Amino acid sequence: MKEKVHFTKMHGAGNDYIYVDTSLYNIKDPATAARVWSDRHKGIGSDGLVLIGQSSMPEADFTMRIFNADGSEAMMCGNASRCIGKYLYERTHPWPLPVKEGNGYQETVIRLLTLSGIKLLFLRIVNGIVESVTVDMGEPVFEDGMQFNPAKAPLAHVRADEAIFVSMGNPHYVIFTDDVNEVEILGKELEHHPAFPERANIEFAEMRPDGIRVRVWERGSGITQACGTGACATAVAACKTGRAGRKSHIIMDGGELDIEWRETDNHVYMTGPAEFVFEGEVDIVL
């Protein structure tokens, strides 16, 4: 027996996902659905599947679960959370949360529950359209306390002074280089390296006058057009190593993001666009 499931495809800086409202559809096996639907030749095509739900906790308004293209579940995705903000505001009527007037625009805040905790989404709205979303990504975590042991399993091809481990709710290894295209050669090897027991997202970053050029190998998805948590990890790594200040402009394959690591609360804030691509229906086997 099959059921039709309505989906929306969206992207944030080229990082594209399939979005399904679980208040309307029960996706019993999201890991399999992610693998099948994400196939770019035989499916819809995406970096993964995002499930949007209603929160049962009073501390959060909505929930997010995200499954990579290989079916593995991710803790958090910055680009996907921005898209969720746009999806919810432009698709939910009437809008249930307070809206504040600004100077020529409006603002509203969504509390989004993820596996990395509750994230705040600050939506900037112009003429009823979400123009941009800023996500409070929380505090970065460095090697202390993380499952990371490069001494036990040295990372080939990478010098210690070129790389730094940063967690933004999920693990990232940021490598500063003059050739970001090395990610195509080393990304998969490093994702599965014994130094990372839970695997890792890999960023190759080049400092440029107009910003930081980054290419990403995402855990469970391979090379993607952009990665929100990866952009945050890169900005934090650049600041931590003295390569940049507290604000960075990140240039990825699919678009650009602005990242601020604030001294006031030690939180990382990511601002960028979110776009609808198309909608459709797909079969799911019950």
Alpha-carbon distance of 218 to 191, in angstroms, equals 8
Paired tokens of 21: 């409202």
Task: Write down the catalytic residue from 83, 227, 232, 239.
Answer: 227
Query: Is 77 marked active-site?
Result: yes
Contact 90, 84 (CB under 8 A): no
Paired tokens of 140: 């970065």
Task: Write down the catalytic residue from 77, 83, 232, 239.
Answer: 77
Query: Is 239 marked active-site?
Result: no
Paired tokens of 96: 């249930």
Alpha-carbon distance of 31 to 27, in angstroms, equals 9
Alpha-carbon distance of 263 to 69, in angstroms, equals 35
Which of 9, 11, 13, 10 is closest to 226 using CA atoms? 13
Non-local (6+) Cβ contacts of 89 within 8 A are: 95, 108, 110, 123, 125, 130
Q: Annotated active-site positions, please?
A: 77, 227
